Amino acid sequence: MFYIHHPVLVIAITSGIFLFNPSAIQAATDSDTLQKQLLELRQQMQLQQQDTQMQITALEKRLSETSETSATKLNTTTQGSSLKTGLSGLFTVGGSSVDNDALEGLQAGAHDPNQNGFTVQNVELSIGGTVDTYLDAQANIIFQIDADGETVVELEEAFFTTRSLPWGLQVKGGQYFTEFGRQNKQHPHTWAFVDQPVVLSRFFGGDGLRSQGTRVSWLMPTDWYSEFYLGAQNARGETVTSFLNAPGEDIGGHTLINRDARGSGDLLYSARWLNGMDISDTLSMNLGLSGLWGPNASSTSTETQIYGADLYLKWQAATSQRGFPFAAWHTEALQRRYEAGAPGDSTREILKDRGMFTQVLWGFTPGWIAGLRWETASAEGDTRSDPLRDTRKRLSPNLTWYPSEYSKVRLQYNRDWTEHLADKTADTLWLQVEFSLGSHMAHTF
Amino acid sequence: MKNLYKYPLWLVLLAVLSGNAQAVLKVETTTQDLAAIAKTLGGQYVDVHSLTLGTRDPHFAVAKPSMIRRVYGADLLLIIGADMEIGWLPPLLQSARNSRVQPGNPGYLDLSLTVPLLGKVQGQVSRAMGDIHTKGNPHYWLDPRNGVRMAKVMAERFAQLDPEHAKDYRTNFVTFEKAINTKFVEWRKALHHLNNKPVIAYHTSFVYLADAFRFRVVDEVEPRPGISPSAASLGSLVARIKKEQIDLLIIEPYYDRRSARYLNEQTGIQVSVVPQSVGAQSDIHTYMDLFDSIVKVLKPTGAN
């Protein structure tokens, strides 16, 4: 910078002196005077130069100071209140011993890979942050490409939570995943397997149980962590399949009618009691009980109840590098009681379904996790031909590699046992790749 | 009218309850180093607990339910900051629903704002560069002079939240400062041989220790922060160690030592396991202990 400005300065000063000092030109014949003037000129120039240099240095210093303070200011203000945005993409390629139609029945989750070939499981845009002193808010928008190649956009979740109500209370409102069990709330990119458990696809539909509503939770003043959730949500739509669902859909051969939500009795109520404790420095546990009560669209007065229990145990070595080694055991068991057909109706029956999954993860070395999941799902009565109620079993070993916190590669094998397929068994291999861009992902327990 | 008579009873109950709560300041810290300093300053007037263990890398903690319960009951939350806890503190604060310890309130203290951070990244930052902390390197507690800076702000915050014992906190700080300053001279003397010495670290976590004890961390075993070494990266490191005759490699106890052992076999470089935190070894209980242990490992006679 200095060297560029310097010659310009010299020319300006020199020409300025010659232009506005005609006597200097007249005396140019006298070499003594000329030399004297030249000396003066040099001195003047040197002084000017020094002055300019000092000014520039001072300015540069001020500039660096202001940029530094503004950077520090930015740092402190963005802390804790910054908007977090992230985009995660989940892509799978796989092949199965059964055709695509059969595969779609086996992989009933809307974000499960379900095609021989490539599946874009889930591209999720998350935006969240602190609204003000009182609220936090978050929205998750999903982009998906379905089996017909159509792009689907879904507002998966958009909700607020209160930040600091008294007495350990917290209110959540909007569109959100119901707090039932451990798995239902998890987004596909945090799943430990490429697909969602069979029983959850059956009871809660492909997208998991989520709807519009509000819930209150109470962090109890106990010595251990104990939290009680109580919620009310709309019971209508494809994401509350065991309840009002969509008219024309079918459960256990009973076609659903268009049942309106007329009063508070037609809402879906949920309760969850979650307990957590450290058994030791290396072993922690979560134990939860959940319940759902709501109307179903089998008739104008029928109801559904779903109950579940979930257990999560995690061991992490006392000396661990990047969270490894660890072992985690997650088990959930659910049962559903579904009143089908109005009272007095000849086809009236109580549909009883149950299911469970149990999975173990072993993070044996930093970045590497081996997993094994076992699942069963069944219903009372003759349900052999119904892909959503027959007796299903599935065994899924997998291996996941995290090159960094922001990407993963997963290989999973599924062995399926079914009653509704002619083949009775299916073997499928999936290879999944995930990336996540943007804000740092939360390390959830 | 009847309710009015009940009112004093509630007041009494409230007074008893809040009186109990104020007896000690409940302090939760994200690391054992913060807890150790807080305990030294607060003494009997504070109840200090660390959310993570010194044997683990605090960046990779998870928001466990027990932590939610603890943060819910805390009067003051001390954090390392500089994105050290970015993975687990935001969800923890949200679940804990305790307004006292939310950012911006006196019960929330980010100690990274009390020290001059090294390694602030200028210019374009990409995740292709590994785990880069743009706000600066968060391992600043490994410089005893930073310990004093942290303690000063901590003591003032204690005094603000518990004015009754303000004098004690300030006195304790002065004692702590004096002790550290005296010890620092001794520690520096003991590690005099490290002066200007080139050292290899496993992770970019010893820059403050290097600054305090005047050695130079010239390279890391991890090719990029948080990325495990590959055969190729180890190969070039072997060449560098031989060429520049680097003879000391320092590594935290929680990192896998296979690559360090390999480098030792190939070049004869000395591998020193340096405890990075209070609690990293069972005999390190205080902030003072931490540097005593580090000095013991690094001083010429204590070499292994």
Does residue A356 contact residue A182 with C-beta atoms inside 8 Å? no
- Of the candidates A306, A171, A310, A290, the residue with the CA atom closest to the CA atom of residue A235: A306
Q: What is the distance, to the nearest Å, from the Cα of residue A133 to the centroid of all Cα atoms in its chain? A: 24
pLDDT at A38: 72
Enumerate residues 6+ apart whose C-beta is below 8 A from A259.
A244, A247, A266, A295, A296, A297, A299, A300
Q: Is the pLDDT of residue A115 over 80?
A: yes
Both B122 and B266 in one domain: the answer is: no
The confidence band for A4, taking pLDDT boundaries of 50, 70 and 90, is very low
Whether B64 and A76 lie within 8 Å, measured CB to CB? no
Domain range annotation of chain A:
2-73, 84-438
The residues of B whose Cβ lies within 8 A of any Cβ of A are 53, 55-57, 59-66, 68-69, 72, 81, 83, 86-88, 90-91, 94-99, 102-104, 110, 113, 127, 130-131, 135, 226-228, 253-256
Both B145 and B250 in one domain: the answer is: no
- In eight-state DSSP terms, residue A146 is -
Q: Is the pLDDT of residue B266 over 70?
A: yes
Both B174 and B197 in one domain: the answer is: no
The residue of chain B nearest to residue A129, with distances taken between CA atoms, is B90
Whether B65 and A277 lie within 8 Å, measured CB to CB? yes
Q: What is the distance, to the nearest Å, from the Cα of residue A286 to the centroid of all Cα atoms in its chain? A: 21
For residue B299, tell me if it sits in a domain: no
pLDDT at A264: 78
Both B171 and B195 in one domain: the answer is: no
How far CA B266 is from CA of A74, B238, B303, in Å, comes to 47, 7, 19
Give the closest-approach CA distance of B135 to chain A in angstroms: 8
B-chain residues near A278 (CB < 8 A)? 64, 66
Count of structural domains within chain B: 2
- In eight-state DSSP terms, residue A275 is E
Both B171 and B204 in one domain: the answer is: no
Q: Which amino acid is at A71?
A: A
CB atoms within 10 A of CB A217: 23
Q: Is the pLDDT of residue B118 over 80?
A: yes
Could you report the per-residue pLDDT of A328-369, keeping only the tens digit for each? 999 999 999 999 988 888 889 999 999 999 999 999 998 999
For tokens 């959930």, the residue is: A332
Domain that holds residue B233: 191-273
Distance, CA of B221 to CA of B235 (rounded, Å): 11
**Assigned token pair, B81:** 């900051």
Domain-terminating residue out of B183, B213, B230 = B183
Whether B65 and A406 lie within 8 Å, measured CB to CB? no
For residue B70, tell me if it sits in a domain: yes
Tell me which architecture the domain covering A84-438 has in CATH: Beta Barrel (2.40)
| Higher-confidence position of A30 and A136 | A136
A-chain residues near B60 (CB < 8 A)? 320, 322-323, 443
The secondary structure element, H or E, covering residue B260 is: helix B258-267
Distance, CA of A41 to CA of A33 (rounded, Å): 12
Q: Is the pLDDT of residue B190 over 50?
A: yes
Of A278, A365, A366, the CB nearest to B64: A278
Q: How many residues does chain A have?
A: 445
By CB neighbour count within 10 A (0-12 exposed, 13-18 middle, 19+ buried), where does A11 fall?
exposed
For residue B76, tell me if it sits in a domain: yes
The confidence band for A306, taking pLDDT boundaries of 50, 70 and 90, is very high
For residue B103, tell me if it sits in a domain: yes
Both B173 and B203 in one domain: the answer is: no
Both B115 and B241 in one domain: the answer is: no
| Higher-confidence position of B16 and A108 | A108
User: What integer is the mean pLDDT of A407-415?
Assistant: 96
Alpha-carbon Rg for chain B, nearest whole angstrom, is: 22
Enumerate residues 6+ apart whose C-beta is below 8 A from A373.
A192, A193, A197, A357, A358, A359, A360, A394, A395, A396, A397, A398
User: What integer is the mean pLDDT of B9-30?
Assistant: 64
Find which of A81, A164, A279 to mutate to test the B interface (most B CBs within 10 Å of its CB).
Answer: A164
Distance, CA of A281 to CA of B17 (rounded, Å): 30
Whether A322 and B226 lie within 8 Å, measured CB to CB? yes
The confidence band for A11, taking pLDDT boundaries of 50, 70 and 90, is very low
Whether B56 and A319 lie within 8 Å, measured CB to CB? yes
- Domain with residue B68: its CATH number is 3.40.50.1980
Give the closest-approach CA distance of A127 to chain B in angstroms: 14
Both B80 and B104 in one domain: the answer is: yes
pLDDT at B100: 92
The residue of chain B nearest to residue A278, with distances taken between CA atoms, is B66
- Prior bond to A325 cis, omega within 30? yes
Could you report the per-residue pLDDT of A175-209, keeping only the tens digit for each? 999 999 999 999 998 999 999 999 999 999 989 99
Enumerate residues 6+ apart whose C-beta is below 8 A from A301.
A295, A342, A343
Could you report the per-residue pLDDT of A20-58, keeping only the tens digit for each? 444 444 444 566 777 777 777 777 777 676 666 666 656
B227 has which bridge partners? B224
Does residue B74 contact residue B44 with C-beta atoms inside 8 Å? no
Does residue A342 contact residue A332 with C-beta atoms inside 8 Å? no
For residue B47, tell me if it sits in a domain: yes
Q: How many residues does chain B have?
A: 304
Could you report the per-residue pLDDT of A142-179, keeping only the tens digit for each? 998 877 888 889 999 999 999 889 999 999 999 999 99
Q: Is the pLDDT of residue A80 over 60?
A: no
A-chain residues near B130 (CB < 8 A)? 404
Distance, CA of A311 to CA of A125 (rounded, Å): 30
For residue B56, tell me if it sits in a domain: yes
Domain-terminating residue out of B144, B162, B183 = B183
Distance, CA of B182 to CA of B186 (rounded, Å): 7
Distance, CA of A365 to CA of A372 (rounded, Å): 17
A213 has which bridge partners? A174, A233
Q: Is the pLDDT of residue B231 over 60?
A: yes
Could you report the per-residue pLDDT of A220-248, keeping only the tens digit for each? 999 999 999 999 999 988 899 999 888 88
